[in-house]
Amino acid sequence: MSHALTEHFFRHSYGLLVATLCRQFGTDQLALIEDAVQSALVQAMQSWRKGPPDNPTAWLKRVARNCMLDHLRHQQVAYQAEAKLQIHLKNEASTAQSIDDESALNDDVLSLMFVVCHPALNQRAQIMMALKHLCGFSNEEIARGLLMSQEAIKKQLQRAASQLRELQLEFALPPANELTERLTAVHRILYMVFNEGYSSASAEQVIREDVCAEAARLTHLLATHSTGNADTHALLALMMLHAARLPARVDHDGNTLLLAEQDRRLWDHAVIREASQWLRASFPNTTSEARSGRYHWEAMIALLHSSTPTFQDTPWERIVSCYDTLIRLNDSPIYRVNRAIALSHIHGADQALAELERMDIENPYYPGLGCARAWLLERAGRTTEALRACQDLLASALAPHERRLMERRRDQLDK
């Protein structure tokens, strides 16, 4: 296409338009804003059949604003809204060419990011709001991604919107004294959104990759803005390092491949290089209190894997020490299980198994533990026990791709 409509233009415009209308009309109008944005996109889809206008973003913003005014008139509160809009338009006129001003647009999207990650909403709702309003996924796509019914998604989104309405939030970046805390929440949600894409149970591959790309795009926006901090940089590096290895993660039949089985030539080494620069940039700030450290060390582990040419060359000692740091920062069964696996490559599977047995894991249903145990038993040559562990796992609730992986292991053991 000769015009400046990149592949995901409509989807990206969705978040942008929601953000702009939120600034113009307030977050309490979210439900109407959603309708107005949808109407504007429908009109664009039909009116641009001969080719989009010279400034598609400005066109969409104008149409979306008009739709919003139409909706409001319908609700007979137009008078107030128009008064509000007039004030706003005056402000906008004084800040020249703001309709094209990319940094103003970015501020709107970032403000929206802080709104949907507001601590008053529960985490699930925050993720849905982010997928819907920031990333422009449809309810149907979100339903497929989160394995929920469209009806449930709709209800949760409506409830979240009415909660936001009650809060009467200012549509702006958080004040300096709240920034660090609010930013931590935004990071957590961006990372969860990314993980929904990266490891979500059964959503289709295409949607999963889109979700990852959207989370990374928003993180990049935050990382290149003055609001972002060292944690943002590390989080971006982490997402890029995972995304760079996505192409090698499944085989032709869609089976998940283990790290040792992956063809490392399929990794995107340009992305890995760029990620390592972001990670390096995030480290000098070691004294900053804003650093939780979690993303730094997870990214460091990902980088150690990504920059090693073959599985045999993996620097396991360094990886174990990264996990030690992570456990010190935040003790979690996921880190402990992964540390045990790394340890098995240095001291053998038996010692790693002993380590797992010693672990007092609160959540016995964490499937990663069972997978790791089965795999370590197999490596230790305790085939009967390994087979048993596989069968136990297969009898429990597993995501489809995990199930396929375990079935493959079981069949190999059963030979």
Partner 1 sequence: MSQFMFIYRDSQDPSALSPEEMQADMETWVSWINQAVEAGWMTQPGEALEPGNAATVRKRGVTDGPMIESKEVVGGFSIVEAQDLDAATKLAQSCPAVASGGCVEVRAVMVFPDND
Which residues does 332 contact at the CB level (< 8 Å), separation at least 6? 326
Q: In terms of C-beta density within 10 A (0-12 exposed, 13-18 middle, 19 or more buried), how is residue 114 classed?
A: buried
Q: Figure out which of the listed residues 18, 24, 34, 38 binds partner 1, where binding follows CB under 8 A.
A: 38
Give yes or no for residue 90 binding partner 1 (CB under 8 A). no
Binding segment for partner 1 among 36-44, 109-117, 329-337, 343-351 (CB under 8 A)? 36-44
**Does 373 engage in binding with partner 1 (CB under 8 A)?**
no
Q: Which is nearer to partner 1, 136 or 228 (CB)?
A: 136
Angle at 377 between CA 372 and CA 378, to 5 degrees: 100
Q: Does 278 bind partner 1 (CB under 8 A)?
A: no
**69 is an interface residue for partner 1 by CB under 8 A:** no
* Gap between the Cα atoms of 183 and 222, Å rounded: 10
Query: Residue 401 belongs to what H/E stretch?
Result: helix 400-413
The yes or no reply on residue 47 touching partner 1 (CB under 8 A) is yes
List Cβ neighbours of 157 (8 Å cut-off, separation of 6 or more): 125, 128, 129, 132, 139
**Both tokens of residue 368?**
């990663």
Nearer to partner 1, 138 or 391 (CB): 138
The residue from 16, 33, 41, 116 that contacts partner 1 (CB under 8 A) is 41
- With respect to partner 1, which residue has the nearer C-beta, 13 or 24? 13
Tokens of 72: 């409001």
Q: Does 320 contact partner 1 by CB under 8 A? A: no
Subset of residues 195 to 234 that bind partner 1, contact rule: CB under 8 A: 210
Residue of 28, 34, 108, 141 that binds partner 1 (CB under 8 A): 141
What is the DSSP-derived secondary structure letter of residue 132?
Answer: I
Stretch that binds partner 1, among 6-14, 83-91, 179-187, 263-271 (CB under 8 A): 6-14
Q: Check residue 26 and give left, alpha or beta (phi > 0: left; psi -120 to 50: alpha).
A: left
Number of residues that bind partner 1 (CB under 8 A): 29
Unique residue bearing structure tokens 């137009």: 78
Q: Is 4 in the site for partner 1 (CB under 8 A)?
A: no
Look at residues 262, 269, 329 and name the one whose alpha carbon lies nearest to residue 294.
329
CB of 226 to partner 1, least distance (A): 29
Among 16, 18, 44, 275, binds partner 1 (CB under 8 A): 44
Give the Å distances, CA to CA, from 339 to 235, 239, 345, 363: 21, 20, 10, 17
* 140 binds partner 1, rule: CB under 8 A: yes
Distance in Å, CB of 193 to partner 1, minimum: 17
Choose, by CB under 8 A, the member of 1, 176, 270, 395 that binds partner 1.
1
The SS3 of residue 80 is helix
| Cα atoms in the Cβ-side hemisphere of radius 13 Å centred on 149 | 3
- φ, ψ for residue 256, nearest 5 deg: -70, 135
Binding flag, residue 54, partner 1 (CB under 8 A): no
Taking the least distance from each CB to partner 1, the nearer of 1 and 176 is: 1
Residue 42 contacts partner 1 per CB under 8 A: yes
| Contacting residues toward partner 1, per CB under 8 A | 1, 5, 7-11, 13-14, 38-39, 41-52, 136-138, 140-141, 210
